[in-house]
């Protein structure tokens, strides 16, 4: 805000103050080469003197680059999506652009409205967790985009970024096997969900690779909720001679949290009697008792990777491939190490 005129300083004010032309100032601001030391310094000084701040609306209008990116996720209030947003935000800041954030609530109409807003804001590109069945709207707007999350897998031949579920499942199974749980039980999502099949297939394939017969694993279907996990675990405990040394791999953290409650309900203790492994890495897993050991999706990295991929897309040098971001093991105490316990017993005897 210019003290003298009461309005914001423009590039013309800076040019006048510096005794140079608009274009020279613009060149300095854009960090172009072919600029004399003297000119650069005078512009610097004039910018400070006038309090000039670049008008991105004007820049965007002229150059066709708004310096804006769009992010459409189901719900910013969901901790996983908040992590994604944060990762995208940070990467955008590093690239010197800003992020418009929208929540779709898994509602195709809201999604369409948000895409329209992005188009009107002339974002340089968008990162979207798609809820609609087709990408007609996206094509219509003709803006570069990258899909994120598991729902993006429905669209091959598009750039997309998501968790590496297969690697996460392998990681989880290997941890269980290494700690002596040679026959882990599974609590799965409902049959109606695609994610269930994906999870189960990954388990089967890795079991075979590790010489475990997947058909002998006990499984319970549930519904991805705490209460669902609780009753699924109750059924497992009844079926498994009171559950001693049982280990259960749950397809998400909410069900795992319910599993911990069910173990306590049955008068058993986790992890002494029953071990639990979750999948997701929700923050609440840190506050259960015991803390929930889980396979954590790396939301932040998904977000930052998506921004990077989006820039490849904008530049037109995109590969249109799905990028899989690895999951991590988050150890918080709900797993008993049977091999260690066995060793301890031997040591005690000896």
20 touching DNA, by CB under 7 A: yes
117 binds DNA (CB under 7 A): no
The site that binds DNA (CB under 7 A) totals a number of residues, namely 28
Count how many Cα atoms sit within 13 Å of the Cα of residue 348 in the half-sphere of its side chain.
Answer: 6
Q: How far is CA 148 from CA 80, 160, 301, 322, in A?
A: 12, 5, 11, 9
- The site string for DNA over 32-61 (x = CB under 7 A, - otherwise) reads --xxx-xx------------x-xx--xx-x
The region, left, alpha or beta by phi > 0 then psi within -120 to 50, assigned to residue 88 is alpha
Among 101, 266, 312, 314, binds its own copies (CB under 8 A): 101
Contact 212, 258 (CB under 8 A): no
Tokens of 143: 């803006």
Q: Of the candidates 29, 112, 117, 312, which one interacts with its own copies according to CB under 8 A?
A: 117
CB nearer to DNA: give 68 or 338: 68
Select the binding partner of residue 345 from its own copies, DNA, none (C-beta < 5 to 8 A, by kind).
none
Residues 122, 154, 240, 332: which binds its own copies (CB under 8 A)?
122
What residues numbered 227-286 form the site for its own copies, per CB under 8 A?
A: 257, 261, 264, 283-284, 286
CA 310, CA 127: separation in Å to the nearest integer? Answer: 7
45, 48, 51, 63: which one binds DNA (CB under 7 A): 63
Select from 16-24, 50-58, 235-243, 272-280 the region that touches its own copies (CB under 8 A). Answer: 50-58
Cβ 271 vs Cβ 335: under 8 Å: yes
Residue 54, classed as helix, strand or coil, is: coil
What 112-120 contacts at long range (C-beta under 8 Å, 24+ apart), as own/partner pairs, is 112/137, 114/70, 114/72, 115/72, 115/141, 116/141, 118/70, 118/72, 118/143, 119/143
Chosen residue from 1, 2, 23, 106 binding DNA by CB under 7 A: 23
| Interface with DNA (CB under 7 A) | 7-8, 10-12, 19-24, 26-27, 29-30, 34-36, 38-39, 52, 54-55, 58-59, 61-63
């Amino acid at each position: 805000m210019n003290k003298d005129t009461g309005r914001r300083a423009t590039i013309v004010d800076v040019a006048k103050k510096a005794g140079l032309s608009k274009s020279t100032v613009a060149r300095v601001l854009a960090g172009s080469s072919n600029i004399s030391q003297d000119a650069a310094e005078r512009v610097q000084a004039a910018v400070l003197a006038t309090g000039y701040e670049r008008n991105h609306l004007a820049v965007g209008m002229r150059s066709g680059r708004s310096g804006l990116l769009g992010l459409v996720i189901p719900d910013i209030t969901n901790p996983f999506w908040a992590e994604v947003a944060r990762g995208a935000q940070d990467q955008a800041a590093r690239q010197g652009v800003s992020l418009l954030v929208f929540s779709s609530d898994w509602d195709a109409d809201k999604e369409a409205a948000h895409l329209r807003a992005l188009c009107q804001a002339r974002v340089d590109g968008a990162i979207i967790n798609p809820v609609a069945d087709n990408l007609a709207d996206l094509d219509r707007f003709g803006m570069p985009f990258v899909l994120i999350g598991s729902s993006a897998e429905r669209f091959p031949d598009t750039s997309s970024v998501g968790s590496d579920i297969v690697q996460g499942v392998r990681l989880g199974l290997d941890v269980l096997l290494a700690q002596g749980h040679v026959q882990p039980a599974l609590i799965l999502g409902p049959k109606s969900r695609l994610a269930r099949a994906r999870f189960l297939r990954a388990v089967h394939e890795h079991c075979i690779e590790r010489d475990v017969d997947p058909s002998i694993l006990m499984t319970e279907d549930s519904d991805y909720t705490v209460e669902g996990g609780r009753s699924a675990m109750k059924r497992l405990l009844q079926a498994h001679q009171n559950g001693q040394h049982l280990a259960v791999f749950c397809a998400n953290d909410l069900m795992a949290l319910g599993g911990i409650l069910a173990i306590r309900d049955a008068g058993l203790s986790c992890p002494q009697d029953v071990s639990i492994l979750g999948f997701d890495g929700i923050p609440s897993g840190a506050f259960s008792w015991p803390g929930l050991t889980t396979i954590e999706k790396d939301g932040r990295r998904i977000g930052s990777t998506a921004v990077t991929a989006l820039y490849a897309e904008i530049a037109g040098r995109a590969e249109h491939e799905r990028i899989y971001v690895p999951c991590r093991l988050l150890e918080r105490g709900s797993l008993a190490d049977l091999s260690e316990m066995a060793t301890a017993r031997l040591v005690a005897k000896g």
